[in-house]
Chains A and B, each alone.
Chain A
Amino acid sequence: MGAMREAVARIKSFFAKEERDADLEAELETHLELAVEDNMREGMSAEEAKRQALIRFGGVQQAREQQRVARGLPWLDVLLQDLRYTLRTLGRERAFTIVAVLILGLGIGANVAVFSVVDTVLLRPLPFAQPQQLVRILSKNMKGGESTATFSTDAVQEIQDRNKSFQSITGYFAFSGPDNLKLMGNGQPKPVTELDVMGNFFTTLGVQPILGRLFTLEETLQHSRPVVVLSYNFWKRQYGGKPEVVGQVIRLNDVPVTVIGVLPDTFDFGSVFSPGARMDMFGPVIPQDIREEGNTIALVGRLKPGVTMAQGQAEADLIFPKLEFNVQHPEYGSAYTARFLELKDFVSGKLRRSLIVLWCAVGMILLIVCVNLSNLLLSRAAARSKEFALRSALGAGRGRLVRQLLTESFVLSSAGALLGLAIAWSLAAYLAHQGSIALPLLSSVRIDGIALTWTVLIAMTTALIFGLVPGMKIAAGNLQDGLKDGGHGSGTGAKRERLRSTLVISEVALACILLVGAGLLLRSFMKVLDVDLGFEPSRAAAISVDMKPIPRTADRKTFETIQWAQWQEVVHRAEALPGVEAAGIADSLPMSRNRSWGVSVKGREYKKDELEATFVYIVSPGYMRAMGLHVLKGRDFTWEDGPSSDGAILINETIAKHLFPGEDPLGRMVQAGGDDKRVIGVVADMRETSAEGDAGWQMYLPASQDGPEGAQLVIRTKLPQAALSATLMTMLRQINPDQPAVELKPIQNLVDHATSPRRFFVYLVSVFAALGLFLAALGIYGVISYSVTQRTQEIGIRMALGATMARVKWDVIATTLKLAAIGIVLGTVGSIAASHLISSLLFGTESTDPVTFLAMVLVLGTVALLAGYVPARRASRIDPMVALRNN
């Protein structure tokens, strides 16, 4: 109780310093006056009385000091004093301060930015209620893209009915393309992206609308009353965030649809389930409508509380073989299998290693920053040894001096942290708006409380690390040496230089590891960019075509005839445009939507798992040329392959090799999509989902035989694509006045999107490596430059004794190269040890790639040479007379 009261009183006094001091002064004055009076009463002279009073009192200054210590917060006083002193010193040495804060700011900023990405993507739970219960239900065999990762509506129904491990199972239609609907209304139709989800999708995830409501059971069963809920961003963008939109009827394509709700800002479907995709609105999946379309539903389940993934998986392994489809079609083997993946793992599992590598890289930068600052502070401490010696002689304890140094490093570190936060904040804001980088959750990257805590933590750790090295030197060294004429060439000087050299060597070694890592990733990236995709994205571009609606009453044959004619008109008119070399239509493009069907040789029996799911493209004549795909054998489609002709098919090389080994596939009959088709040609393999992946099975069908929904017009041109965009739009509007305003997008965009995560990592790691290289160069320069300054006198003498300029220059450069060489050797060993961490991220590159290592040695060597050359030149220009006289 007393201690508590004393603490409060001390804090109060601390802030009422002047008042308390005035009180004390008044008391002291009275005290001395009374004492003098007493003494005079005893018969002393005035002067003697005063003298005696002061003697009995003891030191007045001491009494003041004692009272201050007793009443206030002495440690805080000292701290503030240290701080004031530090700020004064740093203010005086502005160049040093700016360099140190910049280096720290870069290091801390990079760390906080990467931390916030790692935190968002890996550490933070998904933005759903109890996200650990959420499971992505996949198939064990997923070679055929989305089609093998999804389930038919019948299968979904059965799984929902039979399972006992899940509270609920839900899903969404996995094949919604971007801009799949047009919003009609004032003026030109506007393209919107709509996605159908199962009725219980949002409730299963635990997402509540901020306005209106979610789907009712009735609305998910039939089409009678079409409804949508809007995404937050679309609501803001299209309706200015007005709440009145709920309940309004809008027109999508030609259908009136009621807006029933608005989803919260925190729900970003794209960033969780389909990185880089923008979703505008969600409607209910109507099972009857897509029943015949095969596997279309991506499944997500919420486990019951207390049920583990393993239990769920065990149950699924029992249930799935008994699914109706599996029982009725034994020839497909078990088409439906289940592989459970925690939703979080599904979203970001693949990125874990990349992000950890990034984290390590940025951690190394921080280490290099620490080493660099230790070095800077060390040379400063050397320069200040006289000051320290003086302060020590005046009674400052060693502890006090070390504390002073630590205060300095904490002040520097805090300033660096502030700068770093600003850097990280802008980086995070920039990343959050990079829709083109296909990284999940990126849109929610931000500097939050945890990132702030992390900043404080690394700033403090950094300050400790780089502050302690010079601090320990002070603690261990003989302070009085500082007073003895600078101590040039004395034992401590040499020891200090050795320490500095060690620091530089470790800096070089760290930079070396970073360079090798970045080099390997960069080489992999080059290899990825170099991959023969099978198509030629350059000079090709695509635009979404909105076809005139075909009456629902049309039977399949009529439908196909109308559609084929529409496509022909679009392609012919596009081909006729000036500057267009080739044009063609496809229902989907590689590296965007991927779905697969089955294909087999007609009349042949296949064993289980002998066939692979086959990616299918429904295309028009001209598409192959427009896309730059090569027909290797046989012929391309013509307009003759229309609805009235026999079914024709083009297969890729991989299919030809598997289905017709050693035979000529041309003219052979296959079954694809349930119909008989004749193989008319073989097309070169192309990369379907990514540049790194295998080609897989691919086939092409003409639109005359399977009516697709979407249509992408692909054109090949030498003209700048922007120039063609308006012309194409006019042409499309002439054919269909309802054609929404869409952009002509380079095919290269699709490839870039697919390689964007790799590009992102390579870019960041390269930036870090460059930063590390720069800091290492700075370190080398600092050390060599310092040693030249220290040895001015010695060099002067040597030159006076006849050493040539070249000789002096070479000596300095040799020292530099020696340091760099040791660092490079250590770094190479470290790189070999560390490279296994990134080996799984490499593509077409060995982790011991000699080119990378050689390049690293060359780059580091050159940079070291440059960093050492400047001081070497200075050394060689030392005028012996001036050097000697100055001493």
Chain B
Amino acid sequence: MPDSRPDSKLDLLQGTLELMVLQTLATMGSLHGYGIARRIEQVSGDEVLINQGTIYASLVRLQQRGWISAVWGTSDNNRKAKYYAITAEGLGQLAKDSAYWLRLASVMERVLAMPKEGDV
């Protein structure tokens, strides 16, 4: 049962952070780690329990699978930063994973909305 108290945050399910990263990079283009973390926080409306530091393990995983690429560059305020971008393969994976998530979510929705027996 999801806790509805406003002060509680959602624990991330396995693999969801990766999906969020891919989606962020797909929509925002090239970004550094801090940018990605901020963007996810903003979009999730601070509902997700996430330490920004966690993002770096995900970035390594995605990079090792060849779904994102990384280059060193300079940030707006002249800082050395590593910029990540989604690859063609990453786009494919994103399409696959998001389709899966949406399907799962709709199934979950239907199951949880199941009326009690006798209510029919």
Contacts and interface: CB of A to CB of B under 8 A. Distances in A.
Contacts of B118: none
Contact of A27 (B33, B58, B64): B33
Contacts of B56: 24, 27-28, 63, 66-67
B53 interface: yes
B51 A58 contact: yes
Contact of B66 (A2, A67, A71): A2
A10 interface: yes
B51 A57 contact: yes
Given A27-B33, A27-B82, A66 B66 contact: no
B101 interface: no
B103 interface: no
A10 B57 CA distance: 13
Contacts of A27: 32-33, 56, 81-82
Given A5-B66, A70-B61, A71-B60, A33 B53 contact: no
Contacts of A324: none
Interface in A3-37: 5-6, 9-10, 13, 23-24, 26-28, 30-31, 33-35, 37
Given A62-B53, A63-B51, A34 B65 contact: no
A70 B57 contact: yes
B14 to A, nearest CB: 13
Nearest to B61: A70
B54 interface: yes
Contacts of B57: 63, 66-67, 69-71
A30 B54 contact: no
B75 interface: yes
Nearest to B52: A57
A33 B79 contact: yes
A95 B60 CA distance: 46
A9 B64 contact: yes
Given A9-B64, A63-B57, A30 B52 contact: no
Contact of B53 (A6, A9, A34, A63): A63
B77 interface: yes
A187 interface: no
B64 A26 contact: no
Contacts of B51: 56-59, 62-63
Contacts of B61: 6, 70-71
Contacts of B54: 58, 63, 66
A686 to B, nearest CB: 83
Interface of B is mostly: helix
A57 B60 CA distance: 17
A804 B53 CA distance: 71
A30 B33 CA distance: 9
A457 interface: no
Given A2-B65, A66-B57, A71-B60, A37 B77 contact: yes
A34 B66 contact: no
B64 A30 contact: no
Given A57-B51, A63-B51, A63-B53, A26 B82 contact: yes
Interface string B26-67: 000000111101100000000000011110111011011110
A60 interface: yes
B15 to A, nearest CB: 13
A26 B33 CA distance: 11
B80 interface: yes
| Size class of the contact patch on chain A | 20 to 34
A511 to B, nearest CB: 56
Contacts of A69: 57
A9 B35 CA distance: 25
| Size class of the contact patch on chain B | 20 to 34
Contacts, number: 83
A5 B65 contact: yes
Interface string B67-85: 0000000010101111000
A13 B54 CA distance: 19
Contacts of B60: 67, 70-71
Contacts of A66: 53-54, 56-57
B99 to A, nearest CB: 18
A69 B58 CA distance: 11
A62 B56 CA distance: 11
Contacts of B32: 27, 30-31, 34
A57 B53 contact: yes
Nearest to B65: A2
Contacts of A35: 34, 52
Nearest to A9: B64
Interface string A44-83: 0000000000001111101100110111000000000000
B66 A30 contact: no
A5 B64 CA distance: 7
A30 B53 contact: no
A63 B33 CA distance: 13
A71 B53 contact: no
A554 to B, nearest CB: 96
Which of the listed residues A13, A28, A38 has the most CB atoms from chain B within 10 Å of its own CB?
A28
B42 to A, nearest CB: 11
Contact of A60 (B53, B75, B80, B82): B53
Contacts of B65: 2, 5-6
A42 to B, nearest CB: 12
Which of the listed residues B32, B52, B58, B65 has the most CB atoms from chain A within 10 Å of its own CB?
B52
B52 A31 contact: yes
A53 to B, nearest CB: 9
Interface in B74-109: 75, 77, 79-82
Nearest to B51: A58
Interface string A681-714: 0000000000000000000000000000000000
Nearest to A38: B38
Contacts of B64: 5-6, 9-10, 13, 70-71
Which of the listed residues B32, B51, B77 has the most CB atoms from chain A within 10 Å of its own CB?
B51
Given A63-B57, A69-B57, A34 B79 contact: yes
B64 to A, nearest CB: 4
Contacts of A63: 51, 53-54, 56-57
B55 to A, nearest CB: 8
Interface in A533-584: none
Contacts of A38: 38
A13 B77 CA distance: 30
9 contacts: A27-B33, A27-B81, A30-B81, A57-B51, A57-B53, A59-B53, A67-B56, A67-B57, A71-B64
Given A30-B75, A34-B34, A70-B61, 19 more contacts: A6-B64, A9-B63, A9-B64, A23-B82, A26-B82, A27-B56, A27-B81, A30-B82, A31-B32, A34-B32, A34-B79, A35-B52, A57-B52, A63-B51, A63-B53, A66-B53, A67-B57, A71-B60, A71-B64
Interface of A: 2, 5-6, 9-10, 13, 23-24, 26-28, 30-31, 33-35, 37-38, 56-60, 62-63, 66-67, 69-71
Interface of B: 32-35, 37-38, 51-54, 56-58, 60-61, 63-66, 75, 77, 79-82
Of all A-B residue pairs in the complex, the 4 with the closest CB atoms, nearest first, are A58-B51, A63-B53, A9-B64, A66-B57
